[in-house]
Amino acid sequence: MTPFELLEPQTLPEALALLSDDDAGIRPIGGGTALMLMMKAAVLAPTRLVSLRGLQGTLGSIAMTADGALHLGGLASLSALEHSALVAQHAPVITRAMTHLSNVRVRNVATVGGALAHADPHMDLPPVLAALDARVQIAGPLGTRELTIDELISGYYETALKRNEIITGVQIPASAGRAAGRCAAYLKCTTRAADDWPALGVAVSFLYSNRTISDARVVIGAATDRPTRARAAEALLSQSMGDATTLQKAGDALAAEVQFTTDAQGSAAYKRQLARVHLGRAVNAALAQT
């Protein structure tokens, strides 16, 4: 690893001022769990790191907003999410996903902002948040903007973020919360060891009443080069009862509509099969919580 400058601003404006859209050598750093590995592997050799740790006090909170949305601070640690009573109440799918995300040492320092900005397609949090219609709040020198996960993560390790922007938080709208009757589940499927990057992540969420599914979201992670909505599968699930025949059809639709990638976790053909099977399992897991 080559030497670099480490700056530790204490406020958002200070932090923003230290970043630059023109200089690829300058990077914000949250928990550093992804960044430091890339630097050790010499994939990245930044000249300046702007630590966001000093903003944890202001941007690390987890709270309900006035309109009933769940707000996750961009600097909240993943273990803060895991242990938050608010998260467990409004989006228990996140609580459960956290326990199988990486390990406790990483979760203790890794941040929500880092988990979104890193954009490794194998990350667990993006598909979960996408299935909950989350909106990502971003601050830049000219002000703030909001993006969906789909807009934020534009490709393989690629985001719509500018180099001088910071993710300040994520909002999960009230309509996606438990109180609104939304069920959700995330299944992570690993193929080499239990603690591993997933070969496939399947996040589902839907409304459920009168034993009928409606407004379904299906988002695939890891098996694709970015979190990917499976709209044909969603359409089949919506207005169904989540019965075995529908799940099978939806699984087939999903297998047909999504572009799977081959990598160290498995071939595209195998991941397609995993997706076909895990969609039904994810829906059943979500239904089991109703």
Interacting residues toward ligand FAD by CB under 6 A: 27-35, 37, 52, 74, 101-102, 106, 110-111, 113-115, 117-118, 123-125, 161, 166-167, 197
In this structure, what token pair is assigned to residue 280? 């039904």
Answer for which of 195, 241, 289, 290 binds other proteins (CB under 8 A) is 195
52: partner contacted, choices ligand FAD, other proteins, none (Cβ within 5-8 A by kind): ligand FAD
H or E, element range at 273: helix 268-287
- Are 27 and 46 contacting, i.e. CB atoms less than 8 angstroms apart? yes
66: partner contacted, choices other proteins, ligand FAD, none (Cβ within 5-8 A by kind): none
Task: Report how far residue 25's alpha carbon sits from residue 22's, in angstroms, rounded to the nearest whole number.
Answer: 9
Of the candidates 182, 174, 266, the one whose C-alpha atom is nearest the C-alpha of residue 216 is 182
Task: Report how far residue 217's alpha carbon sits from residue 113's, in angstroms, rounded to the nearest whole number.
Answer: 23
Single out the segment in contact with other proteins by CB under 8 A; choices: 37-45, 74-82, 164-172, 204-212.
Answer: 37-45
Cα-Cα-Cα-Cα dihedral sign, residues 136, 199, 239, 214 = negative
Shortest separation between residue 55's beta carbon and ligand FAD, angstroms: 8
Q: What are phi and psi of 278, to 5 degrees?
A: -75, -20
CA-CA distances (angstroms) from residue 202 to 36, 85, 187, 190? 28, 24, 5, 12
Closest CB to ligand FAD among 36 and 287? 36
Shortest separation between residue 12's beta carbon and other proteins, angstroms: 32
Answer for which of 193, 244, 245, 288 binds other proteins (CB under 8 A) is 193
Single out the segment in contact with other proteins by CB under 8 A; choices: 17-25, 35-43, 63-71, 156-164.
Answer: 35-43
Answer for which of 43, 66, 194, 244 binds other proteins (CB under 8 A) is 194
Q: Does 268 engage in binding with other proteins (CB under 8 A)?
A: yes
Answer for which of 117, 147, 169, 197 binds other proteins (CB under 8 A) is 197
Shortest separation between residue 105's beta carbon and ligand FAD, angstroms: 8
Task: Report how far residue 70's alpha carbon sits from residue 40's, in angstroms, rounded to the nearest whole number.
Answer: 36
277: partner contacted, choices ligand FAD, other proteins, none (Cβ within 5-8 A by kind): other proteins
SS3 of residue 33 by DSSP:
coil
Q: Does 244 engage in binding with other proteins (CB under 8 A)?
A: no
Q: Does 248 engage in binding with other proteins (CB under 8 A)?
A: no
Q: Does 264 engage in binding with other proteins (CB under 8 A)?
A: yes
Q: Does 243 engage in binding with other proteins (CB under 8 A)?
A: no
**Residue-by-residue DSSP string for 142-209:** TEEEEEEHHHHEEETTEES--TT-EEEEEEE-GGGSGGGTEEEEEEEE-SS-SSS--SEEEEEEEEEE
Closest CB to ligand FAD among 74 and 177? 74
Q: Does 191 engage in binding with other proteins (CB under 8 A)?
A: yes
Shortest separation between residue 88's beta carbon and ligand FAD, angstroms: 19
CA atoms within 13 A on the CB side of 226: 17
